[in-house]
Amino acid sequence: MKIIGINGSPRKEWNTATLIKKALEGADSVGAETELIDLYDLEYKGCKSCFACKTKGSKSYGRCNVNDDLTPVFERIEEVDAVILGSPIYFGVVTGEMRSFMERMIFPYFTYTNPPKTLFPNKINSAFIYTMNIPEEMIDDYGYKNMFESNKQLLTLLFGSSEAFMSYDTYQFKDYSKVVCERFDPEHKAKHRDKQFPIDKEEAFKLGVRMIENQK
């Protein structure tokens, strides 16, 4: 069994990366081979609308035609049993790197048929880990639920199943005294981090276990 974690955060040791790593640890604990990919280490851009993936007779039909650092990543994703995406929320959506990655990963496999179907060769488990600065009770105000649900629908259609994991009210800075952030209470943030983030890590670990166990 193999599982890949895709880190869409520029930070390799902070909230999003930590939770992806915990999920991979969970998968490893039940015998899975794991791999972590940091998108910010790769050179690529989003979909360029060449439509080679949709062109009749194209060698790239159902596959992205662009050859760059994402090409071997997509090849490895076709060989795994589960995939975890992870991203912080920036201005109500995932990071630009994650969005570009999703465009390139998802669009080639979707057919322009009615109804649309997926050309992805396997049925695998997928999950999306989101981290965000706002508390859970504010996500309706900011419209996050629509984004969560949209991504879940896309990944379910692509891979066959998907679930979402949210970590709210995360600790954003290593030292709040060094930044201008009067909107946030550093004491509250620290207390929430100390109380809730260990729970989030435990739940992420369980997520990794579940993704592999459900695939067996």
Given pLDDT bands bounded at 50, 70 and 90, which one contains residue 26? very high
pLDDT in tens, 122-173: 999 999 999 999 888 988 888 899 999 999 999 999 999 999 999 999 988 7
CA distances from 169 to 75, 89, 101 (A): 35, 11, 25
pLDDT score, position 183: 83
Six-digit token string for 127: 């999950």
Q: What angle do CA 148, 151, 152 make, to 5 degrees?
A: 85
Map tokens 């912080």 to a residue: 88
Angle between helices 96-106 and 144-159 (to 10 degrees): 30
Given the structure tokens 């071997």, which residue do they identify? 72
The H or E element containing residue 32 is none
Residue 30 has pLDDT above 90, yes or no: yes
Q: How confident is the model at residue 216 (pLDDT cuts 50, 70, 90)?
A: low
What's the burial of 12, exposed, middle or buried (CB within 10 Å: 0-12/13-18/19+)? middle
Mean pLDDT of the chain: 93
Nearest to 73 by CA among 42, 94, 48, 95: 42
Identify the bridge partners of residue 24 per DSSP, sorted by sequence position: none
CA distance linking residue 9 with residue 131, whole number of Å: 10
| pTM tops 0.95, yes or no | no
Whole-angstrom distance, CA of residue 43 vs CA of residue 69: 6
Strands 125-131 and 163-167: parallel
pLDDT at 175: 82
For residue range 49-101, list pLDDT tens digits in order. Answer: 999 999 988 899 999 999 999 999 999 999 999 999 999 999 889 999 999 99
Residue type, 203: E
**Which alpha helices (H) appear in the chain, and where do they start and end?**
15-29, 71-77, 96-106, 139-142, 144-159, 186-213
In this structure, CATH architecture of domain 2-213: 3-Layer(aba) Sandwich (3.40)
Report the C-alpha gap between 108 and 51 in whole angstroms.
8
Tell me if 3 sits within 8 A of 26, measured CB to CB. no
pLDDT digits (tens, 9 = 90+) for 166-215: 999 998 878 888 888 888 888 888 898 999 999 999 999 999 999 998 87
